[in-house]
Structure 1
Amino acid sequence: MGGGKKAKPDRLADFAAAAAATLPGEVWDYLDGGAGAEWTLRENTAAFARRTLRPRVLTDVSRVSPATTLLGAALPHPVGIAPTAYHRLVHPDGEVATATGAAGALHVVSMFASTPLADIAAAASGPLWMQLYWLRDRAVLLDLVRRAEAAGFDALVLTVDTPTVARRPRDARNGFTVPPGVAAVNVAASVMASSHVAQDGSSAIERHSREQFDQTTTWADLAWLRERSPLPLVLKGILTAEDTRLARAHGVDAVIVSNHGGRQLDGAPATVDALTEVVDAAAGLPVLLDGGVRSGRDALVALALGARAVLLGRPVVWGLAHAGADGVRAVLNLVVDELTEAMTLTGRPTLADLDRSAVSGTR
């Protein structure tokens, strides 16, 4: 059999396969792996598969639009990019290529981005949100906030499910370490030093978090951050009604239902299983979701259950590894095209037409 032209990826799984075939094994495991026995990692996608769609017929779908707004910004669609660290692990242009490929979509940039915030902002054409972990050194944290403000970022996203990085067996087995030539360039090198120190049988990412992340942070600390930045504050890592109500009480501007892609508490619920509980408690506070979205159909399920937008983490990195900015754009376009088709075939021409009646099935 001859070689011939490679088929164009037409499912997110194709992008995953392409990335897995080209990336070093330890990098793939870092991107693909989860915490513990990886139960929550698997549940994130399995829970979407347990939902079915309820199509309505004889509805005018001659004009279907996934356009939306979020925190005052107009978006062409509700499919955004979740924060993931070190994009230069998979492509030399790193987050600049990701921002270019976003093509107007919401892009949440990791605190541990491997390219400068100003360069990312210069390449972006849509809203940029800055993701943060709460560091023990508040001066370093505040410096990053100021950098984001200066670069024109539109919101802060505080990840709240990570007082420390959970044990991820694949990374421990590989002794995963951030390699030379890749660094979190927007954070002081002294703070990031231990993430570059190899040690057999343990993950440098996990060891670094134990050293640098502040485990004493509580709801009361949010006031410190809000007093120092005018940017809207979003909390990422909310899975319960109780914490949603606390977020509202503390003046948060939005929440993201997330279990860190199955990379933190193994045994936490799949994000789509937690979504309706959070939406009900949010009482109008914008709710986003990341974790397990692997198609436009999945996106429609989350949007029908009350999410205002969905964020893609691993799939964007797969696209980046496959073809740089073009790969990121292709991943987003694929999911948006699938979402638009699902809206058409379920008889919901706008996002406002989506509600829980569009979905059946739970656990």
Structure 2
Amino acid sequence: MDMKTLRQQARERMNGACRVCPHCDGRACAGELPGMGGIRTAASFRANITALEKVCLRMRLIHEVRAPETACEVLGLPLSLPVLIAPLAGTTFNMGKGLPEERFAQVVTEGARSAGTIACTGDGTPEAFDCGLKAVEAVEGWGIPVIKPWAGDVFFERLERVAQAGCRVVGMDIDTAAITALAKSKRPVSPKSRAELSAIVEKTHALGLKFMLKGVLSVEDALAAEECGCDAIVVSNHGGRAFEAVPGTAAALPAIVRNVKEMTVLADGGVRSGADVLKMLALGARAVLIGRPAIIAGMGGEEEGVQMLLSRMQRQLAEGMLLTGCASVREAGPHLLA
């Protein structure tokens, strides 16, 4: 399979939910929620793209680098490249019913593992969470389930199930705390106080897992997360799907990195290529998460498609490292910026 065939098949399977645009920037699908678009005007979706486009790397070709090293370790997980699959769910109402929920969860989880990295799995409905967890269990816990910021005991019930599945890391996407559709369905989500977040982290650590907080976009929240004991944060605006009046993640990332002392900082938002990965690393992220490209790859080529996408990004990343004189992703930093 080639990428042209993959994209054509994804377009057919997704039944108009995604146009599989040559340049995925949120313009064609603005306001399409449910669906693949950004919320309302899609301003924050577009901001992710434009913020990364403004970042330039310093090309250097007089150096000793010959075989750039893309492998790294994130939260104790050995990865072939610093790219994880973001938590993705809702094939019926977001992805045009291109694949059943259970099959899609298998596709991204197994495809990521085959490429030497790891997938997060999503939440939102009991079916979505169950399918994601089942897929992770099938690969002996090699996945990062990401739970919504549920009110009450729902979060802790799901946390217990994640621990039983043999996972090493669990996440919470706190940037979904204002999704009214969940509240209307009598499954409310909410922001978390410091006391609530500390209790979640304490319970997670007691179960032997590390905790990743996804959806941090300010220095204040980053410092609060660190004080509450979080092991990692993902600088993210939820792919522009939560709030239209916020900056792109690449714009918010540097200040957060400068202020965080111990936590692992990851980022997502607008990453489409290996060059985009290297830009995020240069801005201070330890690794990145990808969402929409993984959906298209999974829908168009299933496990093979996800593996193809990640292998392609790894090649592009190595090429970018060679062109900037970066020997290892562990050495990437602001010195790579033009």
- Same fold by TM-score, threshold 0.5 exceeded? yes
In structure 2, do the counterparts of structure 1 residues 146 and 20 end up closer, same or farther at CA, with 3 Å as the change threshold? same
* One-letter code aligned to 2:104: G
User: Where does residue 200 of structure 2 map in the other structure?
Assistant: 225
In structure 2, do the counterparts of structure 1 residues 85 and 118 end up closer, same or farther at CA, with 3 Å as the change threshold? closer
CA contact (8 A) 1:87 1:114 kept: no
CA contact (8 A) 2:6 2:301 kept: no
Instruction: Show the 5 A alignment for 1:78-93.
Output: 78-87=82-91, 89-92=97-100, 93=103
Of 108, 128, 136, which aligns to 1:98? 108
User: Where does residue 3 of structure 2 map in the other structure?
Assistant: 9
CA contact (8 A) 1:239 1:271 kept: yes
Unaligned 5+ segments in structure 1 are: 1-6, 166-205
Secondary structure of 1:116's counterpart equals: helix
User: Where does residue 356 of structure 1 map in the other structure?
Assistant: 334
Of 234, 254, 279, which aligns to 1:276? 254
Secondary structure of 2:256's counterpart equals: helix
Q: Tell me the alpha carbon deviations over residues 164-186 of structure 1, each in whole angstroms, 9 at most, x when there is no partner.
A: 22xxxxxxxxxxxxxxxxxxxxx
1:110 aligns with 2:114: no
User: Where does residue 325 of structure 1 map in the other structure?
Assistant: 303
Of 147, 152, 155, which aligns to 1:132? 147
Instruction: Give the Cα–Cα distance (whole angstroms) in 2 for the partners of residues 239 and 16 of structure 1.
Output: 31
CA contact (8 A) 1:86 1:114 kept: no
Percent identity between matched residues is 30
In structure 2, do the counterparts of structure 1 residues 143 and 301 end up closer, same or farther at CA, with 3 Å as the change threshold? same
Of 136, 143, 149, which aligns to 2:157? 143
CA contact (8 A) 1:100 1:125 kept: no
User: Where does residue 337 of structure 1 map in the other structure?
Assistant: 315
Q: How many residues align?
A: 310
In structure 2, do the counterparts of structure 1 residues 309 and 342 end up closer, same or farther at CA, with 3 Å as the change threshold? same
CA contact (8 A) 2:297 2:309 kept: yes
Q: Tell me the alpha carbon deviations over residues 64-83 of structure 1, each in whole angstroms, 9 at most, x when there is no partner.
A: 11111111221111011001
Q: Tell me the alpha carbon deviations over residues 11-51 of structure 1, each in whole angstroms, 9 at most, x when there is no partner.
A: xxx86665334312357754421112111111111211112
Secondary structure of 2:89's counterpart equals: coil
Of 236, 241, 246, which aligns to 1:263? 241
Instruction: Give the Cα–Cα distance (whole angstroms) in 2 for the partners of residues 15 and 293 of structure 1.
Output: 19
Q: CA RMSD in A?
A: 2.2
1:120 aligns with 2:135: yes
User: Where does residue 24 of structure 2 map in the other structure?
Assistant: none
* One-letter code aligned to 2:119: H
Tell me how far 1:136 sits from its aligned partner. Answer: 2.5
* One-letter code aligned to 1:208: L
TM-score by length of 1: 0.79
CA contact (8 A) 2:121 2:129 kept: no
Instruction: Give the Cα–Cα distance (whole angstroms) in 2 for the partners of residues 126 and 272 of structure 1.
Output: 31
Please identify the structure whose Cα radius of gyration is greater.
1
* One-letter code aligned to 2:145: M
Q: Tell me the alpha carbon deviations over residues 229-259 of structure 1, each in whole angstroms, 9 at most, x when there is no partner.
A: 3221111111111111111111111110000
TM-score by length of 2: 0.85
Instruction: Give the Cα–Cα distance (whole angstroms) in 2 for the partners of residues 9 and 82 of structure 1.
Output: 21
Instruction: Give the Cα–Cα distance (whole angstroms) in 2 for the partners of residues 208 and 118 of structure 1.
Output: 20
In structure 2, do the counterparts of structure 1 residues 152 and 87 end up closer, same or farther at CA, with 3 Å as the change threshold? farther
* One-letter code aligned to 2:181: R
* One-letter code aligned to 2:249: T
* One-letter code aligned to 1:83: P
* One-letter code aligned to 1:163: A
In structure 2, do the counterparts of structure 1 residues 268 and 152 end up closer, same or farther at CA, with 3 Å as the change threshold? same
